[in-house]
Structures are given as C-alpha cells and as structure tokens.
Structure 1
Amino acid sequence: MLPLLIPLRYLAVAGQLATMLFVAWRLGLGIPLAPMLSVSVALLVFNVVLHLWWRRGGQGGSRLLMTQLVVDMAALTALLYLAGGPANPFVSLYLVPVAIAAVGLDLLPVLGLAVLSALLYTGLMRWHVPLPTVHGRDFELHIVGMWINFLLTVTIMAVVLGRFMATVKRQRRALAEARERALRDESVLALGTLAAGTAHELNTPLTTMGLLLDDWQDGHAPDDEDLALMRAQLAHCRDHVRTLADLARRGDADEPLPRDADGLLRDCVDRWRLLRPSVMVSLDAGADRHAVRVDATLPQALIHLFNNAADANARSGADAAVEIASRIVEGRLCIAVCDRGDGPDALAAFARAERSAHNLGVGLMISNASIERAGGAVRQFARDGGGCITAIVLPLANDEAVAP
C-alpha cells in the first residue's frame, strides 16, 4: 500500500493548497489561511520523509499503514476544525482512510479507525471555527463543495480498490501457477521415490538369483526348491518394473485410494516373505478394518522398514522374529515394527555406513519420504530388553470402518 498512499497524499496536499487559495483569494472568505497552510505543509513534510525512507529500501507493514492513516485523519481533522467543522462539505473525506484500511488491514485495526473517525467527527460538532458567511451564497457553495468532495472520494476509492483488485488478481494467478508447479513437482518427486524404491527392492531378489547362479556354476545341480525360488524372484522383479513403467506412462505416481489397513499390512508382509523367506516374522493385525489411503510408494516404504528390522536382527546375531503389529490409536493407524538388534543408534550409524552389495543405503530415506508424503511419520525408539521399535503413524482415510 505504501507505493499507492505516497502519491495519493501528494495529490491530497496539492488539492488542499489549491482549495484554500481559491477560497481565500477567489471567493474572498476570511478563513484562517496561515494555520491551515501550516497543517498542509506539515503533512507534505511527513510524506516527503516517508517517500525518501521508502526509496532507500524501507518496507511497509500493517503498523506503518495504520500510522499513516492516523496522521491523515489528524491532518484532516485540523483542517476541518479551522474551516467550519461538520458544516464543511469535505467532512465525508473521513470515509477514505477507513476504506483504505478495510483494503489493507485486518478487522480490528479497521474497526479502530472507524471508531476514531466517528469520535473526531463527533468532536467537530462541538469544537470548530465557524465558516464566514457569504450573503445568499452559503448553500450554493456548500452544494458545489459536496459535488467536488464526491468526485474526489469516488476517484480515490476507485484508484485504491482498482489497485487492490489488480493485486488480488496477480496473487491469485501466482497462486494458481504455484499450485500447478507443486502438483507437477509432487508427481515428479513421487515417481523418483518410486523408482528409487524399486531399485532398492529389486536388489534383494537380484542378489538371491546371483547366489543361485553361482551355486549352479560351481556344479550344484538346481533342485525344485531353487527353481521355484528363482521363478518367484523373477516374477517379483517383473511386477515391480511393470508397475513403474505404467506409472511413468500415466505421468503420475498413482492416485491414493482407501484400502483396508490390515489387508494392506498382510499383503506387504506376504510380499516381504517372498523376498526374505528365511526371516521369521510375527504379525498381529488389529486395525479393526479401518481404511488408509494407499499409493504405489507406501507398500514399498513398509517393506523397506521390515527389511531394516530383519537386517538389524542379522547384524546382532539375534535369533528372533521381526514382530509387526497394527492398532488404531487416537484416530490414526499405528504400525510397530520391532527387532532385537542393537537399537536406533546403531541403525542410524549403519545407515550412514558405506554402501555395499546387500545394502543400497537408501531404504530408510525412501520410507520416510513415502510415509511423509502420505501424511504420516516414522519414529524409532529403544526397545526394552534390547532392539528397536520403528513406529509408523498414518492418517485414516475416514472415520468409519471399512465394510468386510
């Protein structure tokens, strides 16, 4: 508002000076010209100082706007006091600062300025210097003054409101463009997360198949169990690559859809058992068939966290199952993944370690990104008796349970 108010105030001072000189010299009215000129000059000095401060990089805010409007109302009150008070046709100019405040300030300051203008107007009804009379022309001059006042008020309010609406349109346009960019970036980020997750998840079946091929190359004949494992791992890789390709062709990362929370958890555990058939797992699904919104990246995130728990058990030598449980707590789905590894600190240190053929070092990062994208969070806590509890909290899709 500062770039708009400064030129308006220059115009206001110029109008005041022109009006006072016209009334005193052309109409011959005996108004107190010297004190009225001093008020306008003081307002001009205030505006010049403000203009110089702004040119040097000063930034306006709500308090500065409020101060300016109070100064304008004080100057107007002084001029009206010296020129007839409420009988002056320009008394309705009190509406202009209130209108500008309504555009640029919150409700409470606007109400304060409205009350202030009403009090000043009321005070002028009792304390003012009467206008000198002009025989037979008082009412005619008053009507002309009201006409000029109307033109000024309409012009000022049209400029202010027009500028305000232009600003609002620019902001709406910028907001729409920012929203489109955010949606586009979200899709790109989701696809990137899905691609990174796919690469990380394919590492385990590819490593398993590599070990099987090494055994066969060393002369160990493949048995039916090895062949079945090879087929399962190949099917797993094919499904992941097909899913990623389908999403890339559509240009998004899949629309999140409501899904039974316990069904999601069981499907993720089944997929994980296919990848890690030798790992013991204990599942306690108790989400009472509530729904969560699931996209293509969320199951990957859960499987990565299952893998982290299994790896923690393996690193510590613990012959324990990965314990997975789900509950509804305070209207949100809570999934706990428990291991008997060396705890959260050791897991964080391992995640920072150099990447190896069996650990790409991105699983936890991908899981955090995917779960946060779904509106959830991941936290890790030390477990009584040793180990780590990884807690995943996800918002529910709605407040009602999913029908069986």
Structure 2
Amino acid sequence: MLHLLIYLRYMAVAGQMLTVAYVVERLNLPIPARPLLAISAGLLAFNVISHVWWLRHRNAGARALILQLLVDLLTLTALLYFSGGPANPFVSLYLVPVAVAAIGLEIAPMLGLTVLTAALYTWLLQHHVPLPHVHGGDFELHVTGMWVNFLLSAVIMGVVLSRFMAIVRDQRRRLSEARERAIRDESLSALGSLAAGTAHELNTPLATMSLLVDDWIASDAPPAREDVELLRGQLAHCRDHVRALAEMARRGAAGEATVEDADRFVHACVDRWRLLRPNATAVFRGGAADREVRIDAALPQALINLINNAADANAARGRDEPVEVATQVREGWLVVTILDRGAGPAGIAARPRHDSDGPGLGIGLMISKASIERSRGRVRQFERDGGGCVTEVDLPLTGAPA
C-alpha cells in the first residue's frame, strides 16, 4: 500500500504543477503561484525521501502509512488555503486519504485521520485566500474543475481499490495454502500419535509373548494349551493394532470420524482393554444412554491407554482392585470417569516424562491427551477420596438425545 501511495504522489505533484501553470499562463488568473509551486516542490522532495526509505525498508508498518497520509492531508490543506479553500472544486480530494486509511489501517487510526480531515476542512471555511473573480465565467469554470476532479478521483480510487483487491486475493490464496498445510500437518500429527500409541499398546503383548517364549525355551516340556491360546490372543491383538495403523495411513491420516452411541463406544474400549490385560479387571457403569459422540481413529486408543495407565497405577501400589470406568452427561459433554487406587496425580507428576522403567513406555498419558484434544475434548486428573486418581475425559456430544 505504501509504495502505491508513493507512485500516486508523483502523479499528484506533476498534476499540481501543471494545473498551476495552466491557470496562470492560459487562464491568466492572478493566483499565488509561488507558494503553490513551493508546496508542490516540498511534497516532491518528501516523496523522493519516502521512496528511498521504502526501497530500504520494504516491510513498512502502519506508522509509516499514517505519516504519509498526514503529510498528504497537510499538503492538500496548504494548497487549498492558497486557492480558494472550500470554494475550490478540488476540495473533495480530501476523501482520497480517508479512503486509503479505511483500506490500509485499523479502526482507531482510521477514525483519527477522518476526524483530522473534517477539522481541516472546517478550518478552511474561515481561513483561505479567495479565488479571483472572473466576470461571467465563475460557475462554468467551477463546473469544469469539478469534472476534472471527478476524473482524478475516479482514477485514484480505481487504482487504489484494484490494488487492494489484488492484495486481498493474494491473502486469500496464502490463507488457503496455509489451511492446506495445517490440515496436512494435523493429519501427519494424528498418524504420528496413532503410531506412537500403537507402539505403546504393543509393548504389553510383546512382553507377554517374550515371557512365554522364554519359559518354553527354559522348559523341556511342551507348552501348555492355555499358554498357546494366550500367545495366539496376543498375536491377534498385535495384528489388530497394525491393521488399525495401516487403515489410518490408507485414509490419508485424515481420521475419518464416525458417530456412535456413547455408552456402547466406551464399553467397547473397556472390552478391548480386557483383551490387552487379561489378568486385570475393570468395571463399567454406563450413564449416557441414547447419546451419541463423534469418534475418530485415534480416540479409542486414547481411552484404552488411560484405562491401562489406571491398571498400572493399581498394580504399582499392590492394589487388587478393579479399574472403575463410568459415563455421564454433563452440560452437553460426555464425561468418561476412570478411577484407580494408585499414587494419584502427584505421583504421576513426580514420574519423569519419558520414564520407561515401568511396564509401559511412559508415553501413554501424553499420547492420550494429544489425541483427545485433537477430538475437541479435554482431560482432567485430580485426587480421589481415599487415595488414588480420578481421570475425567470430556468429549462433545453430537446433539440432542437420540
């Protein structure tokens, strides 16, 4: 916007000087030509300095534009003072700086420049050098000046607005590209979270299979049938997670969402967790019957990770209590509550972020929070009465009861 204003000012200075010369030489009007030409020359010098400055500082901000418009307003006021004030047909050029300010500035400086323009116009009503009287031709000359002023204003506004629309189109294009990059980055982030969560969940069945294989190698007896069935179940669990990861990649990591019954979804997550931890127990209490929630690809894994963390917390404290999972509806949200009897939030916070000495990889909570927040949800943890931790997961419901 600033460089366009500088180029327009070159044209304005040339027009001012030519107009003064035409009025003096061709119309023979006794106007104060020297002050008018001196003002135009001063504006030309200021414009040259501004042009050099702009070539060195192309990222000019709002302050530079405000300064340029202030100089234009004061210069126009000085020119009008020596050429009839409000009787000059070119007085409507005051609208050009106001229009440029409305396009290129915020509301506060734009209003300030508008008030200043009105004040200068009002000042000219009482302070100006009157135009000389020409017998019989005053009104015709005034109409001709208004016509010329209209042409100039139309050209200036057309150039300014066309440039402004070009800037708007360029910004829209950049915004569209940024939106596409954000969607792509979000997709890659979702895929990365799912991959990390898959690695986290595969750690337990792989550890189980490793123990079974070590026992078989150390024993001369053939493996028991229940051990073989356990190994088969753990292999199926690993295969399901790998398939889920492949499906996420196949869909472009977009996480195509589905709408499911809230209680049925949480209950299914608890059942999947039971396959992951056959030696642990969980109790589910549904309280969101006939309510629906939006499910993306990474959300089930996030809830399973939180349930698994609760089971690990119980095991770490030697508590043989089941993990309690409950659902309820609260102010338009599905609230999934996970209760354990572990060390509580203080114990979780005291553990190093990447601690992997326990049965897991130490990243389950971090992955779960990221996945739930990506689904427009939130996770809270606080102390449980009698010891332990309460983990609440809030997920937005899709609408009214089904």
TM-score, normalised with respect to structure 2: 0.88
Residues 61-101 of structure 1, C-alpha deviation per residue, up to 9 Å, x if partnerless?
Answer: 44553454344233223322321223322122122122212
Change (3 A) 1:362 1:323: same
What corresponds to 1:397 in structure 2?
398
What corresponds to 1:31 in structure 2?
31
What corresponds to 2:253 in structure 1?
252
Within the alignment, does 1:183 sit opposite 2:183 as a pair? yes
Deviation at 1:366, TM superposition (A): 1.4
Report the Cα distance in structure 2 between the residues aligned to 1:223 and 1:102, rounded to whole angstroms: 83
What corresponds to 1:174 in structure 2?
174
Equivalent positions of 1:222-371 (< 5 A) are: 222-352=223-353, 354-356=355-357, 358-371=359-372
Paired letter, 1:84: G
Report the Cα distance in structure 2 between the residues aligned to 1:161 and 1:338, rounded to whole angstroms: 62
Equivalent positions of 1:88-99 (< 5 A) are: 88-99=88-99
Report the Cα distance in structure 2 between the residues aligned to 1:199 and 1:318, rounded to whole angstroms: 27
Residues 209-232 of structure 1, C-alpha deviation per residue, up to 9 Å, x if partnerless?
Answer: 222333333246544543433332
Which secondary structure does the structure 1 equivalent of 2:376 belong to? coil
Which runs of no fewer than 5 residues in structure 2 stay unpaired? none
Paired letter, 1:178: A
Report the Cα distance in structure 2 between the residues aligned to 1:80 and 1:349, rounded to whole angstroms: 75
Q: Which moved more, 1:119-128 or 1:72-81?
A: 119-128
In the alignment, is the contact (CA less than 8 A) between 2:83 and 2:129 conserved in 1? yes
Q: Which moved more, 1:221-230 or 1:250-259?
A: 221-230
Tell me how large the CA RMSD over aligned residues is.
2.7
Report the Cα distance in structure 2 between the residues aligned to 1:166 and 1:353, rounded to whole angstroms: 50
What corresponds to 2:130 in structure 1?
130
Change (3 A) 1:268 1:7: same
Paired letter, 1:131: L
Report the Cα distance in structure 2 between the residues aligned to 1:255 and 1:193, rounded to whole angstroms: 15
Q: Kindly tell me the number of residue pairs found equivalent between the two proteins.
A: 401
Deviation at 1:280, TM superposition (A): 2.8
Q: Which moved more, 1:104-113 or 1:337-346?
A: 104-113
Which runs of no fewer than 5 residues in structure 1 stay unpaired? none
Within the alignment, does 1:195 sit opposite 2:195 as a pair? yes
Which secondary structure does the structure 2 equivalent of 1:156 belong to? helix
What corresponds to 1:160 in structure 2?
160
Change (3 A) 1:253 1:96: closer
Report the Cα distance in structure 1 between the residues aligned to 2:259 and 2:352, rounded to whole angstroms: 32
Deviation at 1:253, TM superposition (A): 3.9
Within the alignment, does 1:79 sit opposite 2:79 as a pair? yes
Deviation at 1:368, TM superposition (A): 1.7
Equivalent positions of 1:24-63 (< 5 A) are: 24-44=24-44, 46-48=46-48, 50-51=50-51, 53-57=53-57, 60-62=60-62
Report the Cα distance in structure 1 between the residues aligned to 2:393 and 2:256, rounded to whole angstroms: 21
In the alignment, is the contact (CA less than 8 A) between 2:312 and 2:359 conserved in 1? no
Residues 1-36 of structure 1, C-alpha deviation per residue, up to 9 Å, x if partnerless?
Answer: 222222322332332233223323443211123433
Change (3 A) 1:69 1:379: same
TM-score, normalised with respect to structure 1: 0.88
Report the Cα distance in structure 1 between the residues aligned to 2:283 and 2:343, rounded to whole angstroms: 19
What corresponds to 1:386 in structure 2?
387
In the alignment, is the contact (CA less than 8 A) between 2:353 and 2:363 conserved in 1? no
Which secondary structure does the structure 1 equivalent of 2:351 belong to? helix
Paired letter, 1:72: D
Deviation at 1:140, TM superposition (A): 4.2
Report the Cα distance in structure 2 between the residues aligned to 1:144 and 1:220, rounded to whole angstroms: 114
In the alignment, is the contact (CA less than 8 A) between 2:380 and 2:392 conserved in 1? yes
Change (3 A) 1:264 1:361: same
In the alignment, is the contact (CA less than 8 A) between 2:354 and 2:363 conserved in 1? no
Paired letter, 1:323: E
Paired letter, 1:340: R
Percent identity between matched residues is: 61
Report the Cα distance in structure 1 between the residues aligned to 2:46 and 2:329, rounded to whole angstroms: 63
Which secondary structure does the structure 1 equivalent of 2:320 belong to? coil
Deviation at 1:50, TM superposition (A): 4.4
Report the Cα distance in structure 2 between the residues aligned to 1:219 and 1:253, rounded to whole angstroms: 50
Deviation at 1:187, TM superposition (A): 1.9
Deviation at 1:37, TM superposition (A): 3.7
Report the Cα distance in structure 2 between the residues aligned to 1:198 and 1:253, rounded to whole angstroms: 17
Within the alignment, does 1:214 sit opposite 2:214 as a pair? yes
Deviation at 1:103, TM superposition (A): 1.8
